[in-house]
Structure 1
Amino acid sequence: MKIRVPATSANLGPGFDSCGIALSMYLSVEVLGDSEQWEIIHTLGEDIPTDEKNLLVQTALKLAPSLAPKKLKMTSTIPLTRGLGSSSSVIVAGIELANRLGNLNLSELRKVELATQIEGHPDNVAPAICGDFVVACHFSERKENSVNYVKHYFPECDIIAFIPNTELLTSKSRGVLPENLPYKEAVKASAVANVMIAAVLNGNLPLAGKMMQEDRWHEIYRGKLVPHLSGIRQICKEEGAYGCFLSGAGPTILILTPAEKTERIIKILNALDSRAQVEHLSIDREGVQVF
């Protein structure tokens, strides 16, 4: 059995802690066979445990404590601590591992609820499970029916990921956000998010991209931690991209662009920072898959 989970990008600008898309980068977990103890073969770095301390196994055992140990192989093209849902993908894979090995017969909704409880919010885990574009909300004070979400088709476009060679921890990125927002400012921020979502649903990427760049929830505060954001935004404007936004908490920036603009924008971004990774991606429509 092999489980595949896509990378994700959360927020899309003003859809803070609510909107997300699934992307064509993947975490894969292969069950190789039975074992006396949990063993995970990977080349993801010395800091990633290879035993039951791994987040993958911890998540699975939280749902199905009596699972028999397995030998697993984990591979991933999702960069760590870059705002592309690397930890969410492991959580989703762990839930699916427990679901299949433990015969839990979890519904999609239940998977989203469980993943949200573990992760804290649904913006990454929901698209990782469902695929495509997902808008979700989470009521942490409720024990049941705590998550509501809608999956919708994201309009066809090319997606370019500019991935800096520096990590940005979510804890640090959240640390610069204000504890409160004035009521009038919150109303404006909400209106921008509403128009962005409506534009996506209507297939209007020029308007959606414009609204993605008008975020008032988090990017105006996190911009100082991601100095390349303003420069890439200017490149997008000059080269005719739909728009760009911080992927999750950053530092990765995603650019939405017509296909005919992609090659030139990638060339410009490669010249902007030779240490950065520039990837040509697309929307993953399926979410978590089992083969």
Structure 2
Amino acid sequence: MKTRFSIKVPATTANIGSGFDCAGIALKLYNDFIFDFSREKGLEFFGVDGRFATEDNLVYQTFSEILIAKDIAIPTDFYLEMVTNIPVARGLGSSSTCIIAGIMAANIYGELNLKLADMLQMATKIEGHPDNIAPAILGGMVLAVALDEEVLYKKIIPANMYTFIVIIEDNEVSTADARAVMPKMISYDDAVFNISRAGLLLEAFQTGDAKLLKVVTQDRIHQAHRAKLIKCYEGLQPVLASKLFTTSWVSGSGSTQVALSLKQQACEAVAAILAVSPELCVLALDVEVDMPLIEML
């Protein structure tokens, strides 16, 4: 039985405009999870936000749920150390990294020999939708649909001429709050608007076609409503509409926004955002194309 190992899971930007609850891209920003079942000190957390250093911790709950489902006893000694680079409740898939780490840890500890498809389905069931889960497990850009017993998906590697400019403000937005501001019903026209664009998301990102990217990241379902929860949204729109950027979108449920910039303009693009809002955290990231990294310690 493996007793000490680490799991590195990437951040994700989801929805990508028209791909509500089904599209996401993995980015080179990570949460690291170190597990140790040999310390004989009960339930321990290190480097974990105090709000989450309890038995309700999402990693621990996911880990326990998977073992219980497989009729395996939960270990009395559970040590979790986290190196958190992905901010919580900002629309960058922090909860997805915890769920995936919990499942992968259970798979290693319990020697379950789960297939990738099994872990994808389990994680999606816990999270409720595959938009962050699928790219975090598979890498690259993924368009996915969750069925009762499996998740169907298509993965592509986005064109490498762009840098993802990730704009993070000091403002947590929970998924529950972000869904609460959305309308209960949408019009036929708005549904067609999004569906027609979502169908071309993969083509746009795989080819890097600037005109198509502008179109597929448009949305009439969620972004205008969630923008009201983002403090810097209105103030940044003029600069994000400039020639430094190809397109932009609200990442997941917010409050993060993501914009595309040509690689040779990335530094200038970051500077332009900080000139308007110097209090923001702005990162220039590339796509993570590989699966989460597991290392035995």
TM-score by shorter chain over 0.5 = yes
- Find 2:55's aligned residue among 26, 31, 52: 52
Aligned counterpart, 1:115 = 123
Tell me the SS of whatever aligns to 2:10. strand
Counterpart mapping for 1:1-291 below 5 A? 1-34=5-38, 35-42=40-47, 44-49=48-53, 51-65=54-68, 66-68=73-75, 69-139=77-147, 142=148, 144-145=149-150, 147-156=151-160, 157-201=162-206, 203-291=207-295
The answer as to whether partners of 1:67 and 1:102 remain within 8 angstroms in 2 is no
Q: Structure 1 residues 239, 231: closer, same or farther in 2, change over 3 A?
A: farther
| SS of match in other structure, 2:153 | strand
Offset from partner CA, 1:213-244 (integer Å, 9 cap, x none): 42112112222222533443431332331111
Q: Report the more deviating stretch, 268-277 or 18-27.
A: 268-277
Q: CA deviation at 1:180?
A: 1.5
State the distance in 2 between where 1:233 and 1:260 align. 21
- Taking structure 2 as the reference length, what is the TM-score of the superposition? 0.90
Cα deviations by residue, 1:117-156 (Å, 9 ceiling, x for unpaired): 10000001111111110110123xx3x23x2111111111
| CA–CA distance in structure 2, aligned partners of residues 149 and 111 of structure 1 | 14
SS for the counterpart of 1:257 is: strand
**Equivalent-residue separation in structure 2 for 1:97 and 1:54 (angstroms):** 14
8 Å Cα contact 1:159/1:282 also seen in 2:
yes
**Cα distance, 1:33 vs. partner?**
4.3
Q: 2 CA distance for matches of 1:179 and 1:169?
A: 18
Offset of 1:63 from its aligned partner? 0.6
- Secondary structure in structure 1 of the residue aligned to 2:252: coil
Whole-angstrom CA distance in 1 between matches of 2:289 and 2:169:
26
Q: Which amino acid in structure 2 is aligned with residue 101 of structure 1?
A: Y
Does the aligned pair in 1 maintain the 2:10–2:288 contact within 8 Å? yes
Instruction: Report the alpha carbon displacement of residue 36 of structure 1 after superposing the two structures with TM.
Output: 4.1
Shift of 1:208: 4.0
| Alignment check: 8 A CA contact 1:197 1:208 kept | no
SS at match of 1:47: helix
CA contact (8 A) 2:156 2:202 kept: no
- Give the aligned length: 284
- Once the two structures are overlaid, the 10-residue window that deviates more, 14-23 or 236-245, is 236-245
Which moves more between the two structures, 169-178 or 203-212? 203-212
Identity %: 32
Q: Secondary structure at the match of 1:154?
A: coil
Q: Distance in 1 between matches of 2:221 and 2:81?
A: 39
* Code of the aligned partner of 1:59: T
Q: More deviation in 59-68 or 253-262?
A: 59-68
The 1:212–1:272 alpha-carbon spacing in structure 2 relative to 1, beyond 3 Å, is: farther
Q: TM-score, normalised by structure 1?
A: 0.92
Deviations 1:242-291 (A, max 9, x none): 11111101110111110111111111211222221111111111131101
RMSD: 1.7
**Which sections of structure 1, spanning at least 5 residues, go unmatched?**
none
Cα displacement (A) at 1:54:
1.6
- State which drifts further: 207-216 or 54-63: 207-216
For 1:266 and 1:172, the matched residues in 2 are separated by 29
Give the counterpart letter for 1:120 in structure 2. Answer: G
Cα separation, 2, equivalents of 1:152 and 1:9: 15
User: What is the distance in 2 between the residues matched to 1:204 and 1:53?
Assistant: 42
Uncovered stretches (5+) of structure 2, i.e. residues with no partner: none
SS class of match (1:158): strand
Cα distance in 2 for residues equivalent to 1:119 and 1:76: 19
